[in-house]
Amino acid sequence: MSFQSILSLAIFGSSYGFSPSSVQNSALYRSPQSFSLKTKSFGKDEYVGRKLSRDCLTILHATKNKILIIYGTSTGSTETVADMIAEEFGSDAEGPIDIDGMQGSLAKKFDDFDAFIVGTPTWNTGADTERSGTSWDELYYDEIQDLNISGKKVAVFGLGDQISYSENYADAAGELHDVFKDLGCEMLGYTSLEGYEHESSKAVRDKKFCGLLCDMVNQEDLSEGRVKNWVAQLRDEGILDGTASVSASTPIVDEVATPSNDDAAQAISELKKENARLREMLEENSHMLDKVLEKQDDRSFTPHYNSKTQRTMWTSHDGRTCYYTDKAPKSP
């Protein structure tokens, strides 16, 4: 029997509803309701994590990276929204981190993550560039331009006052968006213009805002709901695809290696033992079922005994139901 077919046999038990205590804690055996990890057959040449339990046979599709939240702030309002976003993402995001403390370390940070949420307030109303009034302005056309982040996912959020600055609402969010888009990033999180009272904004792209816009001056009560909806939208758009979202019960593989012949032989031996236990379990449950059926009222079923197989097929009078027992029917 091949290595691959043995692995396939060992996994067949998950399709049955039995859960005897002898295999209750085996990663090879779970009821359909509790077996949540992906399993599959694999050949000798595929990588297997050294620290992955030999009886788990699970290939994990996860990376170490999560979303990083970065913000710039002048009065603290952008930080407040960044905290709300971080809370909504929970363990799927790291941060938020103030851009003021990241000068000189941007390359390392952006190399460590595959997805980013970046936020900015809007100041210097009327200017065409450097509109945030934070360290973003010093980095846009300097250190950020040296980053190799093409293909990474980025979502933008911005703050502004749409009543006092109705003609320039959250302009800086548009500049932040364009800087990352021009670097080849995959931009996510565009939102509707509905529900706002501004006259114009440089954060509009194709009749949508280029990200989440919040007005903590005039519409503070709407910010929490907007954040929740936006985070849900980003999840749907796949901002977590390719990033880690591993539960506490999921084993983590921190190194991989090609299995040696000895490793393969030991794995095959253990799988054979596991397969034998599963077969014994099925036979035991089959015998238990026979005993239960023998005790039931057979008056509504007709026996048909096969002397060659020494099994009896019991059929209902309407011919729609049947079951088998290993013994000949008792004489009335």
Residues 47-63: pLDDT tens digits?
A: 344 334 333 433 333 44
In a domain, 247, yes or no: no
CA 178 and chain centroid, separation? 29
Based on the fold, state whether residues 127 and 182 are members of the same structural domain: yes
120 φ/ψ sector (left φ>0, alpha ψ -120 to 50, else beta): beta
86: exposed, middle or buried (Cβ count in 10 Å: 0-12, 13-18, 19+): buried
Per-residue pLDDT tens over the stretch 323-332: 777 767 765 5
134 and 31 share one domain:
no
Q: Tell me the residue range of the domain where 148 lies.
A: 67-236
Predicted pLDDT of residue 178: 93
Q: Are residues 220 and 323 in the same domain?
A: no
Give residue-wise pLDDT tens across range 169-189: 999 999 999 999 999 999 999
311 phi and psi angles, rounded to 5 deg? -120, 150
> Other CB atoms closer than 10 Å to residue 295's CB: what's the count?
8
pTM for this entry = 0.55
If asked whether residues 93 and 144 sit together in one domain, one would say yes
Residue 58 CA to residue 251 CA, distance in Å, equals: 9
Q: Are residues 101 and 120 in the same domain?
A: yes
Regarding whether 77 and 184 lie in a shared domain, the answer is yes
Residue 243 lies in a domain: no
81 plus 133 within the same structural domain:
yes
Please report, for the domain that includes residue 121, its CATH number. Answer: 3.40.50.360
SS3 category, 151: coil
Could you tell me if 107 and 45 lie in one domain? no
Those residues with Cβ within 8 angstroms of residue 206's Cβ, 6 or more apart along the chain or in another chain: 190
Whether residue 248 is contained in a domain is answered as no
Percent residues over pLDDT 70 in the chain: 67
Residue 227 shares a structural domain with residue 321: no
Residues 191-243 have pLDDT tens digits of 999 999 999 999 999 999 999 999 999 999 999 999 999 999 999 999 998 64
Q: Is residue 289 part of a domain?
A: yes
